[in-house]
Amino acid sequence: MKLNRRQLIGGAAVMAAMPGIPSAFAAVKEETRDLVIVGGGPAGLSAALYASRARLRAAVLHDGGGQVTSTPEIENYLGIDSIDGFELDRLFTEHAKRMGAELLTARAEKLTAGDVFAVETRGGVLRARAVVLAMGATHRELGLESEKRLFGAGVSYCATCDGAFFRNKTVAVVGGGDTAVSDALYMSKLAAKVYLIHRRDEFRASKFLVERAQARENIRFILSTVVEEVLGEDRVQGLRLRNVSNGNVGTLETDGLFVAVGIRPNSELVRGLVALDEGGFVVAGEDCKTSLPGIFAAGDLRTKPLRQIVCAVSDGAVAVESALEYLETR
């Protein structure tokens, strides 16, 4: 049977579970606000909270919680020992709403600059004196034809969403950062065996996470190795691997593959409008100011050395503070 990741936590399900946020696209009133926040992840919701505290007329375009909702376990958010990403996103959303934030279930499709900024959605146009970009980032793929063909049939990018499909089975996780190791740890609680595959001989992930993974009896590391092909016709049955050190090629039997090889910024909305770096991230400093006055970037979308939930939340507050300074000059 073809596995469908949307049977668990998919985009529509996420939105339907958010109290007070309609699952259909909200009608957008054509009025000029002080601020429009594009994105409803940690950065966007933090910005919404601070905008509400500053009594700004602000609206958040919210079409999902972003990467946080697919994080299996969060242990590094101050004051919370352990929580899954979906629950943390729910808490963020409810807090922002209690503070009076206006959350609209709509996706920004075009942003234009003029006397005021215009954000076009399917439900209408929002006009604002300033904009905070908080669209976040999405997963990167391995770039294999077989990976695309078997997506939803054993290939997944979300351990939280699809992990339950692989209870007592064998899975592989590919990647070397915090997300990959966290996914391996999460899957080790469900699967009989977990292979953690990384193209380098050392992990980029925090030592704390790596040490935890090393201590799990059912996690095996496969280093200096890349996935060349996902094997199987209707479902994942294995992987063809190549050792980058000696060139040796072999196969690995597995029922599933979780890909966690990095992120790409969701910056298409502002390409050509604000400066981007070579990776497509919005160029913005710690003040969250972009190359275009009145537009601010917060969270994983912007250039920064560390991308964590706590950093995104901080960015949301800073972006609103910078927006306030900008609005005072208008």
Q: How far apart are CA 154 and CA 124, in angstroms?
A: 38
Domain shared by 157 and 130, yes or no: no
Residues 236 and 213 in one domain: yes
Write down the catalytic residue from 63, 162, 183, 300: 162
Query: Is 162 one of the catalytic residues?
Result: yes
Say which of 34, 63, 89, 158 is annotated catalytic.
Answer: 158
Single out the catalytic residue among 89, 161, 178, 315.
Answer: 161
- Residue 288 sits in a domain whose CATH number is 3.50.50.60
CB within 8 Å of 213: residues ≥ 6 apart: 181, 184, 185, 188, 196, 219, 221
**Shared-domain flag, residues 109 and 167:** no
Does the annotation mark 158 as catalytic? Answer: yes
- Residues 150, 299, single domain; the answer is no
Q: Which residues have C-beta within 8 Å of that of residue 4, sequence separation ≥ 6?
A: 152
Same domain, 147 and 252: yes
Please indicate whether residue 311 is annotated as part of the active site. Answer: no
Q: What per-residue confidence (pLDDT) applies to 330?
A: 85
> Which of the listed residues 241, 259, 277 is the one where a domain comes to its end?
259
Q: Categorize the per-residue pLDDT at 162 as very low, low, confident or very high, splitting at 50, 70 and 90.
A: confident
Pair 229, 88 in one domain: no
Q: What token pair was written down for 72? A: 């299996």
The pLDDT of residue 63: 82
- Choosing from 228, 259, 290, the residue where a domain stops is 259
Overall domain count for the chain: 2
pLDDT of residue 22: 40
Let me know: does 257 contact 171? Beta carbons within 8 Å. Answer: yes
Q: Are residues 130 and 271 in the same domain?
A: yes
pLDDT (tens digit, 9 = 90+) per residue, 282-294? 999 999 999 999 9
Domain boundary among 219, 240, 259: 259
Q: Check residues 158 and 296 and name the one with the higher pLDDT.
A: 296
The DSSP annotation for 119-187 comes to EEETTEEEEEEEEEE---EEE-----HHHHHTBTTTEES-HHHHGGGGTTSEEEEE-SSHHHHHHHHHH
- Using a cut of 0.85, tell me whether the model's pTM lies above it: no
Domain assignment of residue 194, given as a range: 141-259
Quick check: 54 pLDDT over 80?
A: yes
